[in-house]
Chain A
Amino acid sequence: MEEIVKALQQIVGAENVSNAKPILEAYVTRAIMDISSKAPAIVARPKSVEEIQAVLKLANEKRIPVVPHSGGLSGGEATPTLEGSILLDLRRMNKIIEVNTDARYIIVEPGVTSAQAWKHMQENHPEYRPGVPDGAPPSATIMGDHLDRGFHFLSTKYGPAADAVLGLEVVLPTGEVVRTGAGALPTAKWFYKWMFGPDLTGLFLGAQGTLGVVTKMAVKIYPMPKFRDVMAFGASNWKYLIEPCLEVLKTESVDLAQGGNYHLATTRRALYVWPPVPKPKFLPTVWMNFELGADSKEELAVMKAKISEILKRNQAKYGADNVFEWKLDIKNVIARLTKPNRISVPYAGHKGGGLLFITWYMPWQDSGKFCETAEKLMEKYKVSPVVWLAAVDHGRQALVMPIALFDPKSPEEFRTVEALDREMTEQFLEMGGIPYRPNLAVHAPLTMPKSIGYYDLLKTIKRAVDPNGIMHPGRLGLLAAEEAKP
């Protein structure tokens, strides 16, 4: 290993490489995406595409796994680190390369954070805003969120963050540089995600670092509305929430629709108790926020009136006690409309810092059943039944995210959460859901082999692009090439 450390020092500079145990352990997180991560063997901090090329060539020669890490964040550190690997900490590459307010895109390097992009736009192009994640802190990167098909604060209106990607620059596992989308031609701007032929941009989105290291990304920016507000529906049960919300979502006017059950709020403010605290009077059992934006007060008023009208119709159908407007206080409105937002940290207080996101996609109209199932299973395992629900692409899809909060000091609770994840995955697969970010231990092995040709094609692509299987082996069920050979 010392020989590899020396070679890496030659490439990225001695001060940017370490194999010291204390340095490596500080990159580990057993939460969010994976609760079984282990420390890498080396961390390297490249500054340029050329340095990344050299690192990947070295890794190929020595057959060492490589895990890329832009900011690493979801609600907290989420990159699953891998034992024996080189962790590429890409945060030194943090330039905003271009903002084009006519074609409406921004080109960023991996380390550009949401805060940095937001502030850059506010100071230089205040009429536009970048798609920053909602549910990850401002230290999360634009690239990480978009690359991982994340949920950003306009995902209800424009779809998963990945849908906003217009082109990539990628260092392939073998060291070649490729650009996708219009930017593949040196004379063209990065204005269009398609090049001739198929969508090669999409190949790398959601790949979890298994197919290369993305070094530049063009993503859409969006107009900043002059007026914004939040309305919220509360309901006595999921079934009374889903249908009225779908009607609202079908108007295709909502910027962001997200909500959850009351546990989502109470666990932010309570230390662990079992059974969970009873529902406080001021909270509905379940709710959904609708964030709205418009260029005039009148336009905003029309939007709100339309939503109120939908609510009234549904109250006539389900009863005003079962679905109602939940009047948010000004503090809540400000908190919701503050972008980028602070989030997640308070959950650490609930059981002492452990949390696993078990996030699934499904059609919106099925989401209530998923939420109910999640709650029942969590109660069965005595895990606080915290469930978050959001609408994507105007409710064509839903994201259901049970947040399993646990005590990271307890090995038993790790086992409990893994067992919960496994049973929930089995049931959710039966119900027709798909895992958002398949983890190594449960989701990938249970899901991938069931796909119709998809997993085989993915493995074929992986072998072609990464013949030595160095890039983040194990993720998506894609093992190192040697192990994966039929």
Chain B
Amino acid sequence: MTYSYLEKYRGDAYNCLHCRLCTFTWAWPNEKGVWPKGSFQPTCPSGEKFKFEAHFGGGKSWLARAILEGKVDIKDPALVDILFACPTCGSCQQQCTLEEPEVGYNHRIMSLIEALRAEAVKAGSGLPGKQKAFGVHIGKEHNPYMEMHKDRLSWLPADLKLPEKADNLYFVGCTSAYRQKELARATVDVFRKANVDFTVLNDEWCCSSPLLRTGQWETGWVSARDVAQHNVAEASKTGASTVVTTCSGCYRTWKKDYTEEYKDLLNANHNFKILHTTELLEQRLKSGELQPKNNIAMRVTYHDPCHLGRHMGIYDAPRNVIKAIPGIEFVEMPRTRENAWCCGSGGGVKSGYPEWALEVSVERIKEAEQLDVEAILSACPFCERNLTDAINRVGSKLKVLDVVELVNKAL
């Protein structure tokens, strides 16, 4: 059997020495050789839950070899949880390829997992829980939330009239448009207060991230290519030079998937500059165009969204924005930045394994609670959603806020 998607990552499958560095965090010791609290901590939500080797990054790599060598059938029912019960947080790859820039070592575990998923879907397998349903819905109504496309802009304040053309395009994303509407409104508020020339798409579709992450690349019910191409075409009509997203998933998709990772698959390359809202705000803070004035006396920590941090390397912008707000006391969690524990919602887990997604998020909430903070901040509506669900599940007193919402309060 030939695997057209998987074949591209054959070298990565074989590159794994199976050393299990992918199973725990690595934070270098200080000059006296003392390892920080966040070192050698569990880092793989999937492996920690299901325990068998196949659920860790290294095991998946060896499994990919077995599939390529015909020892495992891609339609084996036991493969479904191994491949899909994984938030593709990228921590395995992060831990594995720490020395990559120096040694030229390449092990794209996340790409490997997504290609394996695409092969499974192509063969008629996979897609646990509501994953197929959201794929079908994206095909029909252009969002994964079973909502109507006509309601996509219902969050927009009635009095707000946006221009058809502007320099910046705010790509709202499905989660902000349908589930975290207050974040969408806060983003618009902040943009207006910061005099950002912006507009939104009248016909915005899902960015395609849920499809790419769950292997629904080209199916009988949806085409990731059509979705991506539609968005790029619509964005071009606005005359914008920059696409700004508050959603880390949309950010990764626009910046990396459209132009690099899935360039061939999607054929939706573009020349837009892509900014995450925190990057835009950081720029405006530096230039003095944004000046938070209201004192917010709050001790907070920050949760790095996987799609913004490990996937795209954006760690400092949100922190710089948070620290610029008067009155804020900022503390880091032990597992932070490259070593951040995932919120559990990504990679299709929230729809495929909703209970487990909450379990993963509860672990993050407990980590934050140990710091005696009032709020956990994030920079992704999907993280905000799952962290909030976890707080509600365990009755935590923590608040969850997006960095943009905090900035809005300070302006």
- Smallest CB separation, B18 vs chain A (Å): 4
When A25-B71, A29-B62, A269-B104 are in contact, do A342 and B17 touch as well, CB less than 8 Å?
no
Q: Which residues of B contact A347 (CB under 8 A)?
A: 17
**Which of A18, A113, A349 has the most chain B CB atoms inside 10 A of its CB?**
A349
Nearest A residue to B25 via CB reads A115
Q: Are A26 and B14 neighbours in the complex by a CB distance under 8 Å?
A: no
Q: Are B54 and A92 neighbours in the complex by a CB distance under 8 Å?
A: no
- B327 contacts partner chain A, Cβ-Cβ < 8 Å: no
When A25-B62, A25-B66, A26-B63 are in contact, do A342 and B98 touch as well, CB less than 8 Å?
yes
| Contact among A22, A76, A122, A355 with B72 in the assembled complex (CB-CB below 8 Å) | A22
- For the complex, what is the distance from the CA of A31 to the CA of B16, rounded to whole Å? 11
- For the complex, what is the distance from the CA of A25 to the CA of B104, rounded to whole Å? 28
Q: Which residues of A contact B18 (CB under 8 A)?
A: 29, 31, 76-77
Q: Are B82 and A22 neighbours in the complex by a CB distance under 8 Å?
A: yes
| Contact among A73, A92, A118, A355 with B20 in the assembled complex (CB-CB below 8 Å) | A73
Interface size in chain A (residues, C-beta < 8 A): 54
Q: Which residues of B contact A137 (CB under 8 A)?
A: 19-21
Q: Are B40 and A138 neighbours in the complex by a CB distance under 8 Å?
A: yes
- A139 contacts partner chain B, Cβ-Cβ < 8 Å: yes
Q: Which residues of A contact B98 (CB under 8 A)?
A: 342
Q: Are A20 and B78 neighbours in the complex by a CB distance under 8 Å?
A: yes
Nearest A residue to B17 via CB reads A76
Q: Are A21 and B71 neighbours in the complex by a CB distance under 8 Å?
A: yes
Q: Are A28 and B26 neighbours in the complex by a CB distance under 8 Å?
A: no
Nearest A residue to B77 via CB reads A20
| Contact among B10, B62, B73, B103 with A26 in the assembled complex (CB-CB below 8 Å) | B62
Q: Which residues of B contact A39 (CB under 8 A)?
A: 66, 71
- A326 contacts partner chain B, Cβ-Cβ < 8 Å: no
- Smallest CB separation, B104 vs chain A (Å): 6
Q: How many A-B residue pairs have CB under 8 A?
A: 148
Nearest A residue to B28 via CB reads A338
Binary interface profile of B, 204-234, with partner A (CB < 8 Å = 1, else 0)?
Answer: 0000000000000000000000000000000
- B11 contacts partner chain A, Cβ-Cβ < 8 Å: yes
Name A42-69 residues within 8 Å CB distance of B.
Answer: 43, 45
Q: Are B62 and A408 neighbours in the complex by a CB distance under 8 Å?
A: no
**Which of A16, A22, A45 has the most chain B CB atoms inside 10 A of its CB?**
A22
Q: Which residues of B contact A346 (CB under 8 A)?
A: 99, 102-103, 105
| Contact among A22, A349, A407 with B104 in the assembled complex (CB-CB below 8 Å) | A349
Q: Which residues of B contact A29 (CB under 8 A)?
A: 18, 62
Q: Which residues of A contact B39 (CB under 8 A)?
A: 115, 119
When A26-B62, A269-B102 are in contact, do A348 and B16 touch as well, CB less than 8 Å?
yes
- Smallest CB separation, B40 vs chain A (Å): 4
- Smallest CB separation, B369 vs chain A (Å): 21
Q: Are B14 and A352 neighbours in the complex by a CB distance under 8 Å?
A: yes
Binary interface profile of A, 160-172, with partner B (CB < 8 Å = 1, else 0)?
Answer: 0000000000000
| Contact among A91, A339, A344, A409 with B14 in the assembled complex (CB-CB below 8 Å) | A409
**Which of B17, B28, B62 has the most chain A CB atoms inside 10 A of its CB?**
B17
- A271 contacts partner chain B, Cβ-Cβ < 8 Å: yes
Q: Are A338 and B107 neighbours in the complex by a CB distance under 8 Å?
A: no
- Smallest CB separation, A33 vs chain B (Å): 12
Q: Are B15 and A352 neighbours in the complex by a CB distance under 8 Å?
A: yes
Q: Are A342 and B16 neighbours in the complex by a CB distance under 8 Å?
A: no
- A178 contacts partner chain B, Cβ-Cβ < 8 Å: no
Binary interface profile of A, 283-313, with partner B (CB < 8 Å = 1, else 0)?
Answer: 0000000000000000000000000000000
- Smallest CB separation, A386 vs chain B (Å): 14
Nearest B residue to A340 via CB reads B40
When A73-B20, A338-B29 are in contact, do A22 and B76 touch as well, CB less than 8 Å?
yes
Name B109-140 residues within 8 Å CB distance of A.
Answer: none
Q: Are A409 and B10 neighbours in the complex by a CB distance under 8 Å?
A: yes
When A23-B78, A39-B71 are in contact, do A45 and B51 touch as well, CB less than 8 Å?
yes
- B182 contacts partner chain A, Cβ-Cβ < 8 Å: no
**Which of B19, B78, B82, B107 has the most chain A CB atoms inside 10 A of its CB?**
B19
Name A4-22 residues within 8 Å CB distance of B.
Answer: 16, 18, 20-22
Q: Which residues of A contact B11 (CB under 8 A)?
A: 352, 409
Q: Are B33 and A338 neighbours in the complex by a CB distance under 8 Å?
A: yes
Nearest A residue to B83 via CB reads A22
Nearest A residue to B60 via CB reads A26
**Which of A16, A138, A353, A409 has the most chain B CB atoms inside 10 A of its CB?**
A353
Q: Are B53 and A22 neighbours in the complex by a CB distance under 8 Å?
A: no
- For the complex, what is the distance from the CA of A21 to the CA of B76, rounded to whole Å? 8
When A346-B103, A348-B105 are in contact, do A76 and B33 touch as well, CB less than 8 Å?
no
- For the complex, what is the distance from the CA of A119 to the CA of B104, rounded to whole Å? 30
- A27 contacts partner chain B, Cβ-Cβ < 8 Å: yes
When A22-B66, A25-B72, A409-B10 are in contact, do A349 and B106 touch as well, CB less than 8 Å?
yes
- B408 contacts partner chain A, Cβ-Cβ < 8 Å: no
Q: Which residues of B contact A76 (CB under 8 A)?
A: 17-19
Q: Which residues of B contact A77 (CB under 8 A)?
A: 17-20, 58
- For the complex, what is the distance from the CA of A375 to the CA of B303, rounded to whole Å? 51
**Which of B10, B14, B53 has the most chain A CB atoms inside 10 A of its CB?**
B53
Q: Are B14 and A342 neighbours in the complex by a CB distance under 8 Å?
A: no
Q: Which residues of A contact B244 (CB under 8 A)?
A: none
- A75 contacts partner chain B, Cβ-Cβ < 8 Å: yes
- A97 contacts partner chain B, Cβ-Cβ < 8 Å: no
Q: Are B19 and A75 neighbours in the complex by a CB distance under 8 Å?
A: yes
- 9 more CB-based (< 8 A) A-B contacts, given A75-B17, A345-B21, A349-B104: A27-B53, A29-B62, A76-B18, A89-B53, A122-B34, A122-B35, A139-B21, A344-B19, A348-B107
Tell me the A residues contacting B by CB distance below 8 Å.
16, 18, 20-23, 25-29, 31, 39, 43, 45, 71, 73, 75-77, 89, 91-92, 113, 115-116, 118-119, 122, 136-139, 268-271, 337-339, 342, 344-349, 352-355, 407-409
29 contacts between A and B (CB under 8 A): A20-B76, A22-B72, A22-B79, A23-B52, A23-B54, A25-B71, A28-B66, A39-B71, A45-B51, A75-B19, A76-B18, A77-B17, A77-B18, A92-B51, A115-B39, A119-B40, A136-B19, A138-B24, A138-B40, A139-B20, A339-B33, A342-B99, A345-B19, A345-B96, A346-B105, A348-B105, A349-B105, A352-B11, A409-B11
Closest 8 CB pairs of A and B: A76-B17, A20-B78, A26-B59, A26-B54, A77-B18, A139-B20, A25-B66, A115-B40
